[in-house]
A and B are shown apart, each in its own frame.
Chain A
Amino acid sequence: MDMQDVIRQLNVVFGEVFDDDSLVIGPATTAEAIDEWDSLGHITLMLAVEKSFKIRFTTAEIAETKKPGQNVGSFARMIQQKCGDHGA
């Protein structure tokens, strides 16, 4: 799965979780850019991504995604790597 595929699939998940099908995200998108992307929105997002990509985040990975400076790009790389782990 290349980065573009991951971000395309992520875009669908974002649209569903934040209830906005016009939402367009890119690697540089951060939580500040989306109103609903608060701490609760983040948890829902993690769960939705797990279901959509059929992966499971560890406690440390979730903690990582909450650190300052994280964006859709860094998140997508994490997903890509985890999908790779499963040979997908």
Chain B
Amino acid sequence: MSDHEAKLSGIAHVAALRKEGRHAEAFQALVRLAQREDNAVLQARYARILSTLDQGVFKAMTPIRVAVLASSTDKFLRDVLGFWLALAGFNAVFFEAAYDTIAQTILAPDSKLYAFDPDIVWIFTTFRDVQIPRQWGRSREETCEDVDEVIRGYSSLWGVLQERCRAYIIQNNADLPPYRTLGNYDSVASWSHSSILRRYNSRLTEALKDGVMIFDLEYISAFFGKEKWFEFTHWYNSKIPFSLDAVGEVAHQAARLIAAIKGQAQKCLVLDLDNTLWGGVIADDGLGGIALGDGPVGEAFVDFQRYILELKERGVILAVCSKNDEEKAREPFLKHPDMRLKLEDISVFKANWGNKADNIKDIAHQLNIGLDAIVFVDDNPAERELVARFLPQVVVPVMPDDPSRYRQTLDHGRYFETIGISAEDGKRTEYYRSNMARDSARQDSCDLAGYLQSLEMEASVGIVDDFHLPRVVQLINKSNQFHLTTTRYGESVVKELAGDQDVICRHFSLKDKFGDNGLIAVVILKRAGDLEYVVDTWCMSCRVLARGMEEYICRTMIDLGLERGIRRIIGVYIPTAKNGLVADLYPRLGFTPIAPVAGGTMRWQLDLDRLPGKYETYIGTSKT
């Protein structure tokens, strides 16, 4: 039986489950069956089956509204994207745009796009949309001006979109075709097709602004293989813009990018040790016997470690989960000259004989992150199976036998997509490591008050200026657990709010004797009439949970309110699958309930004339 036939019979199994009304199981079977590499026929079938499953399957997923505006036929891509978004945890609804009407859809005064209220607008262009004359003798300046003209066109469309809706914009760059009339000279002449498209891609990146992100079609076409990607039979017949067999890859990568935009990319990489970070078994082979550094296999492991180190430097948290004696497991980190990863790169180090599902749960708990933020890498299929079975939220990539392919396998899952890097990202490991030190101090100290006091905490409160803006925006858009109202704002919106007389935006930082936690919380209060402020946004990093910051922030909001002569603060809680953590935050802080609003949203009020408590904390205010 060929791979294709095996998948078809897998689909028949899913269809049988559906027929018996076992929709949740059918979906789980689909999740296990589908791979991004699967051909177009299979992808279409996955999408079709998903569309027939009942709503219960989608209940736990995050709803998302997506508009794909394309200069080509996009229905096929839309269907398959819906499937891959479901795999990434989203229940997608799509806008039905007419074929090849990108500008009209965005510009028309009565465009239905805006009534649709999209979360994401994906402008799906290809190399065909960069129509610039390519003739011998055209000057470099003429070509560059033409390129900039095309980009100005898109840039002004982004502007209109951002004025008329709140959507995040994704814009394709150009996929360079594999045929070149000038051969190698195509990359030399400034007026050649290759040169024009390369310049277009680089200028497009420079033109990006807040709220707009590139979808790197040039990368995907090369990744998939240009000779296969550029398949024109279905372009000439049906205006399908790339080989349909690439549709799974395109949809997968787009779904991962959208997950990053919505703050749902993974955050933490949990690593096995033996045969994952080095070849062999440290307890059996000893320091000199493991494959690391010397020899072909040793080189492969060093390169894998280098890749992991780069992930850590851009903000991915690393943890170790290994079946080993702790002391033996630490030995290579301390003594092996070719270890690229050091103990200080690892936020939580678990080496014991317990089962890995329990250990990973512990890691998530210690780091205060959700299980769905974790990617677990282990060479051993039995360990992977155990974790996948008991912790289905954890992402468990199937690792290849050959360590030379580890790096690519991990990379191609696109788990750690990002739409921006802030200075805080590089420091994240430090924050979490000092948290570990705090936790062990907590275990040593018998009373909580004594422990909190011993931390010598100091907070600072600041207004949102240009310097703090990127981190503030990142926190609003990445927070899931401690985020009361699920708001997502781009830089321009936050900047506008910060300048509004009737809005109070504040950020909070916290340091203590173990280190600086950085900027860890943001609140946005909006005036509602003369006497009230509504807490529009309150999000906080979970790494400072339960240390008094909640009370400190509440006290700060009260003071800000009293200064402005208002009488009430209204707190809003919009429940999601992830923010159950803060369901009781407002009652805990002395707010009293107002009648619930439709859709599960809760409203609470705090009467500033009758404050219930003093909001005591062990946090001082630093003067900086």
Contact = CB atoms under 8 A, between A and B. Distances in A.
Interface of A: 16-17, 19, 21, 39-40, 43-44, 47-48, 51, 57-59, 62-63, 66
A68 B60 CA distance: 46
A57 B234 CA distance: 10
A40 B41 contact: no
A44 B232 CA distance: 16
A51 B4 contact: yes
Contacts of B11: 16
B237 A47 contact: no
Contacts of B238: 39, 43
A66 B236 CA distance: 13
B233 A57 contact: yes
Contact of A59 (B39, B44, B232): B232
A47 B244 contact: yes
20 contacts: A17-B44, A19-B15, A19-B45, A19-B48, A21-B15, A43-B76, A43-B234, A43-B237, A43-B238, A43-B240, A47-B41, A47-B244, A51-B4, A51-B39, A51-B41, A58-B233, A59-B233, A62-B233, A62-B237, A63-B237
The binding surface of chain B is classed by DSSP as helix
A80 to B, nearest CB: 21
A62 B246 CA distance: 20
Interface in B66-113: 73, 75-76, 79
Nearest to B238: A43
Interface in B29-79: 39-41, 44-45, 48-49, 52, 73, 75-76, 79
Interface in B1-48: 4, 8, 11, 15, 39-41, 44-45, 48
Interface of B: 4, 8, 11, 15, 39-41, 44-45, 48-49, 52, 73, 75-76, 79, 232-234, 236-238, 240, 244
Contact of B52 (A19, A47, A63): A19
A47 B40 contact: yes
Contact of A44 (B41, B73, B233, B237): B41
Given A47-B41, A47-B244, A58-B233, 14 more contacts: A16-B8, A16-B11, A19-B15, A21-B15, A40-B79, A43-B238, A44-B44, A47-B40, A51-B4, A51-B41, A59-B233, A59-B237, A62-B234, A62-B237
Nearest to B244: A47
A48 B7 CA distance: 13
The residue among B44, B48, B79, B232 with the most chain A CB atoms within 10 A of its own CB is B44
Contacts of B244: 43, 47
Contacts of A63: 236-237
A27 B76 CA distance: 28
A38 B553 CA distance: 58
B233 A40 contact: no
Contacts of B44: 17, 44
B45 A40 contact: no
Contacts of A57: 233
A48 B40 CA distance: 8
Nearest to A65: B237
Contacts of B73: 40
B237 A48 contact: no
B138 to A, nearest CB: 32
A52 to B, nearest CB: 9
Contacts of B234: 43, 62
Contacts of B233: 57-59, 62
B237 A17 contact: no
Contacts of A59: 232-233, 236-237
Nearest to A54: B2
Contact of A17 (B39, B41, B49): B41
The 8 closest A-B pairs by CB, nearest first: A48-B41, A44-B44, A59-B233, A62-B237, A19-B48, A47-B41, A47-B40, A40-B75
Contacts of B79: 40
A59 B234 CA distance: 7
A51 to B, nearest CB: 6
Contact of B237 (A16, A19, A40, A66): A66
Contacts of A44: 40-41, 44, 76
Contacts of B40: 44, 47
A43 B40 CA distance: 10
B5 to A, nearest CB: 9
A63 B232 CA distance: 13
A51 B4 CA distance: 8
Contacts of A47: 39-41, 244
B614 to A, nearest CB: 64
Nearest to A50: B41
Contacts of A58: 233
A47 B4 CA distance: 12
Contacts of A51: 4, 39, 41
B532 to A, nearest CB: 52
A48 B48 CA distance: 14
Contacts of B236: 59, 63
Given A40-B76, A47-B41, A51-B4, A19 B49 contact: yes
A16 B45 contact: yes
B16 to A, nearest CB: 10
A16 B240 CA distance: 22
